């Protein structure tokens, strides 16, 4: 099992969600986060005073999936979250050692 | 920064009570003024109604106009403190005006420098017209209209010391400033003092209101020092929708500010309102275009500032120039005030809400432009400016600009240093970080 973490542009969330549901992902967790990569921040100007906003609002999406699904998940997120301009985000994949469905007590891939 | 002196802080409420007591005593004298004289000049109901309406319009510029305009531009932890500045200045100056202020500004002249004490406590200021200040309106209507201008002016200064002044220090500063800076200035230009005798034209307060508050704002920014975290912390306005509401109310009230300065419902009042509206709109558009070109985006705060800059600019000339003159006031006000604010960023004094950039610069441009564009064809009681064949008027205006700016700056700086020694001007670093709302008033705007 893997946990796929994607940091994406907030306005792309709906498209990414639909793309993931299409390939058979059952659920996901979404968090509003702030951060920056090579995009750095942006500038706001209030009547001559300039502020550099280093941390840009983003959405972090977490999906736990079976190993076999990982390449398709990555492909779906990359396709649906892409705008082609700087700041589209990143995808991180990490190993998941266990998963439990609280209601039934099922564990492993059946709990996903 | 001087240590706060607790006892002074605590004795201030007592001082306010004493002031109010004096006010009650004053009102006894005031009742005598209500007896009409047999040969009184005739009161015109139309003129009186307009001046009364104008008085109420200017009131709305202070609270809630300025309160909203400034309140939206500070951080959310300071919004109540900032709005309260407008309210308390209105109330404090009203009391002072009735006690001494009006007399110092407008009572019969003493040597061209100050009004006498004849009208202290409004003694002798009744309903009969005082011909010099409006032959067709009750003297008290003029007094109350001028009270609103007197209250509006220090309320403008509040933008310069926003987010860091101790509340008690503000009360003392405003009380002294109103008596020793505003009243003499108003006397010099409007009350029969030496600048007025020189022929200075200042229709509704380009110098008396805007240059004086702007120069005082510069003194405040320098005497208080910059806010903690200036240029490192994020200090963006917390709610610009409030600022837009305030801008609208200022604009609305400015019709009374300039229109009411005609002291009647007459052709000069109409001309003043036409000029005010045109200058506000042109200046907002000018600001929008300049900022768009310079920074890449037109902004709400920019257009709101442009409108206020235009009105500050046209205040000096509103009753003396025609509509096309007003367009020039708007163009110059919008472009040059924008320049001043960009320039401030390079100099680095912390005039938090740009009192200098909008009001000192706007007032100076307005006074000088009046010296160029004034015309007797618009207002026979005025004078011709340089472009109408009277170059001397321009130099007269320039003298008034320098005198007002220097007097207000130096006087304000002196008062600020005194208040600093007595009470301490600034809140403590901890209080400043907490915000004025909680540290000064135990309240918060958004819970």
Hey, is the C-beta of B341 within 8 angstroms of any chain A C-beta? yes
* Helix H or strand E encompassing B430: helix B429-434
Contacts with B342 from chain A: Cβ below 8 Å: 48
- The predicted structure's pLDDT at residue B447: 85
Closest-CA distance, A110 to chain B, in angstroms, reads 45
CATH number, domain of A71, equals 3.30.70.120
Q: Do B341 and A46 touch (CB under 8 A)?
A: no
Q: Do A45 and B295 touch (CB under 8 A)?
A: yes
Residues in chain B: 447
Q: Do B342 and A44 touch (CB under 8 A)?
A: no
Share of chain B above pLDDT 90, in %: 87
In chain A, the number of structural domains is 1
Hey, is the C-beta of B10 within 8 angstroms of any chain A C-beta? no
Measure CB to CB from residue A48 to each of B234, B237, B345 and give the nearest one: B345
A55-72: average pLDDT: 95
Lowest mean pLDDT: which of B93-97, B232-236, B332-336? Answer: B232-236
**3-class DSSP state of B247:** helix
- B8 pLDDT tier (thresholds 50, 70, 90): low
The pLDDT tens digits of the residues spanning A3-59 come to 999 999 999 999 999 999 999 999 999 999 999 988 777 888 888 888 888 888 999
The pLDDT tens digits of the residues spanning B57-73 come to 999 999 999 999 999 99
Structure tokens belonging to residue A16: 């990414």
Burial of B68 (0-12, 13-18, 19+ CB in 10 A): buried
Lowest mean pLDDT: which of B8-12, B81-85, B159-163? Answer: B8-12
The DSSP bridge partners found for residue A29 are A62
- B182 pLDDT tier (thresholds 50, 70, 90): very high
| DSSP codes joined into one string, B33-78 | TTSPPTTPPPPPHHHHHHHHHHHHHHHHIIIIIIHHHHHTTS-GGG
- The predicted structure's pLDDT at residue B262: 97
Residue B81 pLDDT > 50: yes
Between CA B174 and CA B305 the distance in angstroms is: 24
Structure tokens belonging to residue B375: 């015309």
Hey, is the C-beta of A54 within 8 angstroms of any chain B C-beta? no
Distances (CA, A) of B22 to B33, B153, B423: 18, 24, 24
Q: Do B342 and A46 touch (CB under 8 A)?
A: no
Q: Do A47 and B341 touch (CB under 8 A)?
A: yes
Burial of B243 (0-12, 13-18, 19+ CB in 10 A): buried
Contacts with B302 from chain A: Cβ below 8 Å: 47
CA terminus-to-terminus distance, chain B: 32
- B2 pLDDT tier (thresholds 50, 70, 90): very low
Q: Among all residues of chain B, which has the CA nearest to that of A52?
A: B234
Contacts with A46 from chain B: Cβ below 8 Å: 236-237, 299, 301
The DSSP bridge partners found for residue A62 are A5, A29
Contact in structure between B58 and B149 (CB atoms under 8 Å): yes
Closest-CA distance, A46 to chain B, in angstroms, reads 7
- The predicted structure's pLDDT at residue B199: 97
Structural domain of residue A33, as residue ranges? 2-111
Lowest mean pLDDT: which of A10-24, A26-40, B99-113, B402-416? Answer: A26-40
Q: Do B235 and A50 touch (CB under 8 A)?
A: no
Q: Do B236 and A44 touch (CB under 8 A)?
A: yes
Q: Do B234 and A51 touch (CB under 8 A)?
A: yes
Q: Which fold has domain B46-441?
A: Ammonium transporter fold (1.10.3430)
For an interface test with B, give the residue of A43, A44, A49, A55 to mutate (most B CBs within 10 A). A49
Hey, is the C-beta of B304 within 8 angstroms of any chain A C-beta? no
Of residues B17, B182, B155, the one with CA closest to residue B88:
B155
Q: Name the residue with higher pLDDT: A39 or B181.
A: B181
Hey, is the C-beta of A71 within 8 angstroms of any chain B C-beta? no
Between CA B77 and CA B439 the distance in angstroms is: 10
Distances (CA, A) of B144 to A21, B51, B73, B82, B300: 70, 9, 30, 25, 34
Tally the C-alpha atoms within 13 A of residue A112's C-alpha that lie toward its C-beta: 20
- The predicted structure's pLDDT at residue A52: 84
Hey, is the C-beta of B295 within 8 angstroms of any chain A C-beta? yes
For an interface test with A, give the residue of B162, B163, B295 to mutate (most A CBs within 10 A). B295
Hey, is the C-beta of A50 within 8 angstroms of any chain B C-beta? yes
Measure CB to CB from residue A46 to each of B237, B338, B344 and give the nearest one: B237
Contacts with B229 from chain A: Cβ below 8 Å: none
Structure tokens belonging to residue A72: 């398709």
The pLDDT tens digits of the residues spanning B280-332 come to 999 999 999 999 999 999 999 999 999 999 999 999 999 999 999 999 999 99
Between CA B353 and CA B67 the distance in angstroms is: 12
Q: Do A48 and B342 touch (CB under 8 A)?
A: yes
Structure tokens belonging to residue B124: 């002798």
**What are the phi and psi torsion angles at A52 (to 5°)?**
-95, 120
Of residues B197, B198, B219, B216, the one with CA closest to residue B208:
B216
Between CA B193 and CA B324 the distance in angstroms is: 31
Structure tokens belonging to residue A77: 């997120």
pTM above 0.90, yes or no: no
Q: Do B236 and A51 touch (CB under 8 A)?
A: yes
Residue B16 pLDDT > 80: no
Hey, is the C-beta of A48 within 8 angstroms of any chain B C-beta? yes
Rounded to 5, what percent of chain B is helix, strand, coil? 70, 0, 30
Between CA B210 and CA B362 the distance in angstroms is: 7
B178-195: average pLDDT: 97
Q: Do A51 and B305 touch (CB under 8 A)?
A: no
B335-359: average pLDDT: 92
Contacts with A49 from chain B: Cβ below 8 Å: 235-236, 345
Hey, is the C-beta of B348 within 8 angstroms of any chain A C-beta? no
b/e map of B345-368 (b: 16 or more CB within 10 Å)? eeeebbbbbbbbbbbbbbbbbbbb
Between CA B362 and CA B358 the distance in angstroms is: 5
- B22 pLDDT tier (thresholds 50, 70, 90): low
B166-173: average pLDDT: 98
Residue B345 pLDDT > 80: no
- The predicted structure's pLDDT at residue B7: 54
Closest-CA distance, B426 to chain A, in angstroms, reads 23
């Amino acid at each position: 099992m893997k946990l796929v973490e994607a940091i994406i542009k907030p306005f792309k969330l709906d498209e990414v969600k639909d793309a993931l549901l299409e390939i058979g992902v059952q659920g996901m967790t979404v968090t509003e986060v702030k951060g920056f990569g090579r995009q750095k921040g942006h500038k706001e100007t209030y009547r001559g005073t300039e502020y550099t906003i280093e941390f840009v609002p983003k959405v972090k999406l977490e999906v736990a999936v079976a190993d076999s699904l990982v390449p398709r998940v990555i492909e779906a997120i990359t396709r649906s979250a892409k705008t082609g301009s700087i700041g589209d985000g990143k995808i991180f994949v990490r190993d998941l050692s266990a998963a439990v469905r609280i209601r039934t007590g099922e564990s492993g891939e059946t709990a996903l | 920064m001087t240590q706060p002196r607790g006892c002074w802080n605590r004795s201030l409420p007592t001082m306010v009570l004493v002031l109010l007591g004096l006010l009650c005593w004053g009102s006894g004298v005031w009742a005598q003024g209500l007896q009409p004289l047999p040969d009184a000049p005739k009161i015109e109901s139309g003129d009186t109604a307009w001046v009364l309406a104008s008085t109420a319009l200017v009131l709305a510029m202070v609270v809630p106009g300025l309160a909203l305009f400034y309140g939206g531009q500070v951080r959310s932890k300071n919004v109540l403190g900032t709005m309260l500045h407008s309210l308390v200045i209105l109330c404090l100056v009203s009391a002072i005006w009735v006690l001494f202020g009006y007399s110092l500004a407008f009572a019969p002249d003493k040597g061209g420098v100050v009004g006498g004490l004849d009208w202290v406590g409004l003694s002798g200021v009744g309903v009969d017209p005082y011909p010099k200040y409006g032959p067709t309106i009750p003297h008290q209507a003029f007094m109350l209209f001028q009270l609103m201008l007197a209250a509006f002016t220090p309320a403008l200064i509040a933008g310069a010391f926003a987010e860091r002044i101790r509340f008690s220090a503000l009360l003392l500063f405003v009380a002294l400033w109103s008596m020793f800076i505003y009243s003499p200035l108003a006397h010099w230009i409007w009350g029969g003092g030496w600048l007025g005798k020189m022929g200075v034209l200042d229709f509704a307060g380009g110098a008396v209101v805007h240059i004086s508050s702007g120069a005082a704002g510069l003194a405040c920014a320098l005497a208080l020092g910059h806010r903690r975290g200036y240029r490192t912390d994020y200090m963006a306005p917390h709610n610009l929708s409030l600022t837009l509401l305030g801008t609208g109310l200022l604009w609305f009230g400015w019709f009374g500010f300039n229109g009411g300065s005609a002291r009647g419902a007459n052709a000069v009042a109409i001309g003043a309102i036409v000029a005010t509206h045109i200058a506000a709109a042109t200046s907002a558009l000018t600001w929008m275009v300049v900022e768009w070109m310079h920074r890449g985006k037109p902004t709400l705060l920019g257009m709101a500032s442009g409108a206020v800059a235009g009105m500050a600019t046209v205040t000096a000339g509103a009753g003396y120039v025609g509509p096309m003159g007003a367009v020039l006031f708007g163009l110059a006000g919008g472009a040059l005030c924008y320049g001043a604010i960009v320039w401030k960023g390079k100099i680095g004094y912390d005039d938090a809400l740009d009192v200098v950039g909008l009001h000192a610069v706007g007032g100076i441009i307005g006074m000088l432009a009046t010296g160029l564009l004034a015309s007797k064809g618009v207002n026979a009681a005025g004078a011709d400016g340089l472009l109408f064949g009277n170059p001397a008027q321009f130099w007269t205006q320039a003298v008034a600009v320098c005198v007002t700016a220097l007097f207000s700056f130096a006087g304000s700086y002196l008062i600020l240093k005194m208040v600093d020694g007595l009470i301490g001007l600034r809140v403590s670093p901890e209080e400043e970080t907490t915000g004025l709302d909680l540290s000064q008033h135990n309240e918060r705007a958004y819970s």
